[in-house]
Amino acid sequence: MDLRADEREFVDSVWEKIDKKLSYVAPLQKGRIPYTTSSKWHNRTVDGTYCDMRRIDVSWWTNGFWPGLMWLMYVGTKKEIYRAAAQDTEDILDEAFLDYDRLHHDVGFMWNISSGVNYRLFCNTKSKIRTAIAADILASRYNCEGKFIRAWNGDMTGWVIIDSMMNIPLLYWASREYNDPRFEYIAKNHADTLIKTHIRDDGSVVHIADLDLKTGDVKETFGGQGYSVGSSWSRGQAWAIYGYVLSYIHTGDKKYLDVSKKAADYFISCVNDDWLPKVDFKAPKEPVYYDSTAGAIASCGFIEIYRATGERKYLDAAMNILKAFNDNFCNWDNDEQAILLMGTERYHDDTGRHISIIYGDYFFTEAIYKLKGNDMLFW
């Protein structure tokens, strides 16, 4: 990674702080699956201490981010404490397979960066099987006529969300692992459909669209976790940035890189005043609601765009966001178990606004991990 001396110093110092904090926090989570440390979150937890999603909802879509975070730290440090923590949570996630009817499009988040990484590192047979089952579940959600992967369950048969772009790398893996192009066909068809249905001309992104089951055409769009219909939910924007550059990495198809850059340019234009992303880029100026998770995810995408193109503005954007987070949103004290604060689940929800969220820590760490020069792609 082509970093200046001051940038390298910043990255090294932040990585050291992450390692110091997580080496303390990791053993405290044995047998548990962390999500948030905020007592605002439905009044479930004590400030500073992670709630346990194993007890609350073992099939919750974010449950792969803690083992993913532990694998990032293991690859970056080779400390066995992180490997043990990752393996512990991976074993717990077997309980989610028994909750099959509640699993959906987010199985990539759950298993690609947990068991998937374990298998790629150590050829663990159990991890391979877990990852393959997840890939089969995701592929089974494909609508052959409309050429899209449906989102949630129940009667929302045509609903598709931009978050799904981060899950389809699981299908690229399955296609290579089993020498079966069907998985890649599904992933690419889905990505192509979302270019038409979710990416607007100005580069902003639709969160949720209800598609015609036979044609894949848009019937209706929804505001989802953003401010309203037609607005620009910043985390959805980040899912598109990172998701499409990942499809470019896995397929070599430049159109996916072009879409990622288009979404990235829009994101940058909306945050380059202070580099602290608001929850929705088209929401009213007041009140001011932030979502740190959007910036962390986008930074990972920016770094991969830079690697693919050499265009320095994307690396600069990632560095600016990460520095702004370190100065404004990070907590490095051990009495607060999370690192990145000020995440927001959705715009219209007081209990999930300005809280720590596990994927904020994951993507913040992944961005620093990439800037440290680590080449292993977790997706």
376 falls within a domain: no
Question: What digits encode the pLDDT tens for the residues 280-307?
Answer: 999 999 999 999 999 999 999 999 999 9
Please report whether residue 68 resides in a domain.
yes
Angle at 101 between CA 96 and CA 103, to 5 degrees: 55
- Residue 117 pLDDT > 80, yes or no? yes
- What pLDDT does 254 receive? 98
Query: Smallest Cα–Cα separation from 35: which of 62, 73, 67, 71?
Result: 62
pLDDT value of position 166: 98
The residue-averaged pLDDT of 180-207 equals 98
pLDDT bracket for residue 42 (50, 70, 90): confident
**Whether residue 277 has a cis bond before it, omega within 30° of 0:** no
3-state secondary structure of 261: helix
pLDDT exceeds 90 at position 47: no
Q: Has residue 77 got a pLDDT over 90? A: yes
Domain that holds residue 111: 5-371
CB 150 within 8 A of CB 103: no
- Percent of the chain, pLDDT > 90? 97
pTM for the predicted model, two decimal places: 0.98
Domain harbouring 73, CATH code? 1.50.10.10
Task: Flag whether 96 is in a domain.
Answer: yes
Q: Tell me what the mean pLDDT of segment 260-284 comes to.
A: 98
Indicate the number of domains in the chain. 1
Q: Is residue 378 part of a domain?
A: no
Per-residue pLDDT, 43: 77
Is position 377 within any domain?
no
* Residue 320 pLDDT: 98
Q: Quick one: pLDDT at residue 55?
A: 96
Question: 305: part of which helix (H) or strand (E)?
Answer: helix 292-309
Q: Measured between alpha carbons, how far is 242 from 17 in angstroms, rounded to an integer?
A: 25
Residue 281 lies in a domain: yes
> Is the pLDDT reported for residue 308 higher than 90?
yes
pLDDT digits (tens, 9 = 90+) for 7-32: 999 999 999 999 999 999 999 999 99
> Would you say residue 250 has pLDDT above 80?
yes
CA-CA distances (angstroms) from residue 106 to 67, 78, 256, 295, 362?
15, 28, 21, 20, 16
